[in-house]
Amino acid sequence: MREKVFLVLIAALLPALALPVYGPRAMALGGAYVALADDEASIYYNPAGMAAAGDYFACVPCFAIATDDRITEDFDTYIALKDDIWHADTGGGLGPLLDSIDRTADFLEDLAGGDPPGVTGYLSYGVGVMLGPLAVSWIGGGTGQVVLEPDADTGRLIPDFYLESYEAVALLYLAGYLDSEQLATLWPTYPDPSGFVGDVEGDGLGITENRTGARLENEARQEFIVTYANYLWRSGRGDRFFVSAGLNIKYVVTQSYQNRFTAGDSGMYTTGPEWITRQVLATRPTLGHAVSADVGLLGQFTPYFRLGLLVRDVIPAPISWDEPVTGVSDRLKPQWRIGVAGQVVPDLLTYALDVDLTRDEGSFSPQQDLAVGVRADFLDGALWGGAGLRFNLADETQPPLYTLGVGMHLAGVRLDLAVGLGRIDTSGEANTYFSAAGAVGFSL
């Protein structure tokens, strides 16, 4: 139970660390915004959309959080298996104990051999000032992850009191649950019982010293962006048909947080602000620096069809880390995304669809989005409401994210809100998946 509390505490903090979806108007459509981007969020989704933005000036700060929990069910299973080990009835022999150890070891080996379970917290935030075809922006965000690291060594799944008896140690060794090195630690003179030592604290044996723990990783980044967008071609009838292009030039500051926690760490169960500051917030990031660019293209050929293309980090620039870091890329990776959008009912109902053309590998789950959404605009866009779906094509175990959003644009004041619900369970016994976003600002 103490281990579960430890992981839940970390998971609760993750959204404060680092969302692939930027802004509530995009989140309301499941993130399908590459071909629809026509406001300040085009800086993130498709800078070419800024050329056709309905506002000449905009300053709309955005904030969003999300969590993707795929650790609760596996960790609950692990706790239940450990309880079976502790309470195994060995009155008629060690058979029930060994069966419980086998089940636990097999479960942990399966976790270690596949995609390890974990919790991801996302955070995105930013503000930009758009003035005609130019914009200056700051966008931050990233991914904070707790990944479960299983320890399936059977020598660390044995209740410690069994290691106090040389008879039990001999049986466990002969049955293959202790290796020769572990036997030598417990019983240097085996088979002579006069030199039996038994289990001592810190010898790396016994279930209380099992090393199953969690690795905290956060790969956040801050982007300082200058954007320019303009038309490549426009029809003679205003902006109804066009092709536009946009370019982001950006200075990127990457941040890598890495730490590992185990249930046996000193001070792990200190509660309150001290735990937060000592165990999580005190994790010092390693900084990296790079210069890159985003390129976007957008074309509207009929009122019912728009096509957009985004290449984020089109320059695979090297990241200059302040000090060496392990398991982190030393180069920015280009990400391609394509989208289509159009009006189902002119000036009222709009559809959008996006798909990632590249796959992003995560610590415990890959990500490749397919997003679809619809938006209804009322009073010439003064009020809107939207709904969407986002699917992860790279991971069938992740449930779809169902999104809803509403907003207003009245007298230059913008207020937009969105929420995404994937799987919500407050019992503490099931995985959960949700997100939320909001923005308030001014535009003309």
Mean pLDDT of the chain: 83
Mean pLDDT throughout 254-275? 59
The two three-digit tokens of residue 98, written as one number: 């060994």
- Phi, then psi, of 35 in degrees rounded to 5: -95, -10
Summarize pLDDT for 144-195 with one digit per residue, the tens: 677 778 899 999 999 999 999 999 999 999 999 999 999 999 999 999 999 9
Better pLDDT: 426 or 286: 286
Whole-number pLDDT of residue 364: 56
The two three-digit tokens of residue 315, written as one number: 């320059």
Mean pLDDT throughout 290-307? 93
Domain ranges of the chain: 2-71+117-151+210-443, 78-109+154-209
Most confident of 115-119, 190-194, 276-280, 399-403: 190-194
Beta carbons within 10 angstroms of residue 346's beta carbon: 10
Residues 2-71+117-151+210-443, CATH architecture: Beta Barrel (2.40)
Whole-number pLDDT of residue 18: 34
Strand partners, 356: 337
Residue 428 banded pLDDT, cuts 50, 70, 90: low
- Phi, then psi, of 352 in degrees rounded to 5: -150, 145
User: ω before 96 within 30° of 0 (cis)?
Assistant: no
CB 55 within 8 A of CB 2: no
Residue 9 banded pLDDT, cuts 50, 70, 90: very low
Strands 305-312 and 320-321: unpaired
Mean pLDDT throughout 325-336? 86
How far apart are the C-alpha atoms of 90 and 56, rounded to whole Å?
77
How far apart are the C-alpha atoms of 399 and 405, rounded to whole Å?
19
Summarize pLDDT for 26-71 with one digit per residue, the tens: 989 999 999 998 777 888 999 999 888 877 777 888 888 877 777 7
CB 412 within 8 A of CB 428: no
Cα→Cα distances 310→49, 251, 352, 357, 419, Å: 10, 18, 15, 10, 24
Summarize pLDDT for 73-82 with one digit per residue, the tens: 887 888 899 9
How far apart are the C-alpha atoms of 344 and 372, rounded to whole Å?
14
Cα–Cα nearest to 3, from 272, 265, 363, 275: 265
Residue 270 banded pLDDT, cuts 50, 70, 90: very low
How far apart are the C-alpha atoms of 369 and 400, rounded to whole Å?
10
Strand partners, 286: 256
